[in-house]
Amino acid sequence: MNNAKLIEELPKGAIVQRGGGVYSITPRMPLGQITPDQLNSINSVVQEFNLSGVRVTAGQRLKIQGIPKDTLSAVLDQLGPVGESCKYYVQACPGTTACRLGMQDSMAFGAKLEDFLNGYSLPTKLKTGVAGCSMCCSESLVRDVGLIGKKNGWTVAFGGNAGKHVREADILAEDVSEEKVFEIISKALDFYSENAKIKERTARFVKRVGIDAVKKAVFGSAQK
C-alpha cells in the first residue's frame, strides 16, 4: 500500500471528518467478518495513537475515527493489510452457514460477488446486499445490487436505495443460478457504467432511464 498516495487521494483511503483536521479509516472486513488478529491490530492502533475510538457502521464494518493527519501515515503503516479499504463492499447475512431460515449460502456467494465487483470501475459508490432468504436481513431491496436466496435460486434486484430518497429495487430476475446472477449483474452494471452521469447512483439512474431500458440491456427485451 502506498500511504503517501493514499493520503494524497483523500478521501479514497481515509475520510475527512466533520470540522476537518481528523480522518477516519474503514478497514476491509469482507462480509462483516473479522479475525481475532485483525481485531487486535485495530485495537492496538487505537490505544497506541490515543484515537477517539471505533464505530460499527451500517455496512457491517469498523470505522477507526479521530486520526490526526500527521499520524495517518503511521496508523496505516501499523495496520498494514488490515487497513486496506475495499472498493465495493458487500453486505451479507449468515444464510445457510448459521441461520435456521437460510435458503442459500449468502456468505459464500457474497465473497464471490465482492471479488467480481472489485474488478469494476463504476461511476460512483455501489452498495450490495446478499440475503440468504426472503427476510432480507441484508437489506437487499434497498441496495444498488441486491440478491435474495430462495429455494430454487436467487432473486436479482437492481436500483434500490435507502437514506433520504428511499427507492425499492426493481426485480430483474427470479430463481436464477449463481452463474446466471453474474451474467445479469454484469450486463446491468455495464449498461449503468456506460450511461450513468458522474456520481449518479443506480436508483437515480433507473428512475431516469426506466427499468425497461435496463431489462432490455440485460435480456434483449423489457421482458425477463
Contact residues toward ligand SF4 (CB under 6 A) are: 93-95, 99, 101-102, 131-133, 135-137
95 near 132, Cβ under 8 Å?
yes
Angle at 207 between CA 204 and CA 213, to 5 degrees: 120
Cβ proximity to ligand SF4, 76 vs 147, nearer residue: 147
Coil, strand or helix: which one is 147?
strand
Nearer to ligand SF4, 94 or 159 (CB): 94
Q: Exposed (0-12), middle (13-18) or buried (19+): which is 87, by Cβ within 10 Å? A: middle
- In the numeric block, which cell numbers belong to residue 3? 500511504
CB of 44 or CB of 152, closer to ligand SF4: 152
Contacts of 21 (CB under 8 A, 6+ apart): 68, 69
User: Of 16 and 98, which CB lies nearer to ligand SF4 in the complex structure?
Assistant: 98
Shortest reach from residue 132's CB to ligand SF4, in Å: 3
Q: Nearest-5° angle of CA 159, CA 161, CA 162?
A: 165
User: Shortest distance, CB of residue 129 to ligand SF4, whole angstroms?
Assistant: 9
User: The cell 426493481 sits on which residue?
Assistant: 170
Q: How many CA atoms lie within 13 A of 46 on its CB side?
A: 17
User: To the nearest whole angstrom, how small is the minimum distance from the Cβ of residue 40 to ligand SF4?
Assistant: 27
CB of 91 to ligand SF4, least distance (A): 11
If the CB atoms of residues 83 and 94 are measured against ligand SF4, the closer one turns out to be 94
